[in-house]
Amino acid sequence: MSVPFDPASYDRQLAEKAVRLRELLAPFDAPEPQVFDSPREHYRLRAEFRLWREDQKRHYAMFAPGDNRTPILLQGLPIASERINALMPVLRDRWEASGVLSHKLFQVDFLTTLAGDALITLCYHRPLDEEWTAAAEKLATELDVSLIGRSKGQRLVIGRDYVTEELDVAGRTFSYRQPEGAFTQPNGTVNQKMLNWAYDALGTRDDDLLELYCGNGNFTLPLATRVRKVLATEISKTSVNAALANLADNAVDNVTLVRLSAEELTQALNEVRPFRRLHGVDLKSYAFGSVFVDPPRAGMDPDTCELTRRFERILYISCNPETLAANIAQLHDTHRVERCALFDQFPYTHHMESGVLLVRR
């Protein structure tokens, strides 16, 4: 659910989220949450627009939830990054001047970074040919972007199919490849604050870390510098490939990444059954002291939640405070909430990102 874009009311909206998080964590005697705010505008690094024909022209359009018939026509988008807003009118001018670029174009996606990189995806209801490729190559050069053309059965890449982000954590800059179509944190400024909080909350350890749902290695890279070694899991092939590239690019060499779901790894650690994807990985060689989880909105399933109970420390980042509270309730008899935080990844909506550090009683 969204609320009106109104920077003047931002502080009030953020305070209301903090109240909501306190109420959800109150049954667990949680300490006062640290609150990390967002830029009031130009904070979102990616955006997707449908194109809507009106007055013989195509316009950027979005739709209210549940209504795909009434377009909201846009010249710019104040919540989107400054790079996206700068690219929008220039790109529109280029497709209006080119029948090759505009013919049956129905969607435009932007992916940008704090570091200034940009990737544009153009989606078509027609096959893309050599004429389109030549026009797209010229466009990519003019706009200084990478560009992807998509149509049924086609994916043509001009430049790279990822952007590169740079995030500073505890005085070190980490470089991240963020592929088109893969999940990345949409609010880069708040993501950087979240990484620094998690880095500080974990502390320097002399044992090992288990990470579930590692994605492209967003948290893996800085947290790996705090422990002896890491076993990380992710199920998405695209994210696994990005994470492996990011580990290599940043010379982080104490991480083993396996393509397993959290549920499958739980079965492996409980010796329910072996997995070929764990061939060569000696699970018994790890001295796990901490587990880091960043699950989807549904939270951890009961078996995975029970798995985390065996660790001294549980560092939990959540995009859904209700399922976070439900998981803490399952763990509350053995673990207490030592630290908690609110990260305002999604201003002007009721969504919030939160984090807790649970420590064994």
94 token code pair: 């280029």
What is the H or E stretch that residue 336 is in? strand 335-343
- 241, amino acid identity: N
The annotation status of 185 as a binding-site residue, yes or no, is yes
CA 44, CA 171: separation in Å to the nearest integer? 24
Q: Specify the DSSP class assigned to residue 349.
A: B
Structure tokens at 183: 């999940």
Cβ count within 10 A of residue 79 = 21
294 is in an annotated binding site: yes
CB 143 within 8 A of CB 135: no
Residue 142 phi, psi dihedral angles, 5° rounding: -60, -40
Q: Which residue has the tokens 């976070």?
A: 324
Strand pairing class (146-151; 118-124): parallel
User: Kind of pairing, strands 335-343 and 34-36?
Assistant: parallel
Helix axes 321-331, 10-25, angle to 10 degrees: 20
Q: Which residues does the annotation mark as catalytic?
A: 319, 353
| H-state helical runs in the chain | 10-25, 82-96, 99-102, 130-143, 188-202, 220-224, 237-249, 262-269, 302-308, 321-331
Pairwise CA distance, residues 15 & 105, whole Å: 42
Rounded CA-CA distance 295/308 in Å is 12
Angle at alpha carbon of residue 312, lines to 185 and 220, rounded to 5°:
25
154 annotated to a ligand binding site: no
Cα 89 to the center of its chain, rounded Å: 27
Summarize the chain as % helix, strand, coil (round to 5): 35, 30, 35
Tokens of 167: 């995030």
- Binding site for S-adenosyl-L-methionine, residues? 185, 213, 218, 234, 294
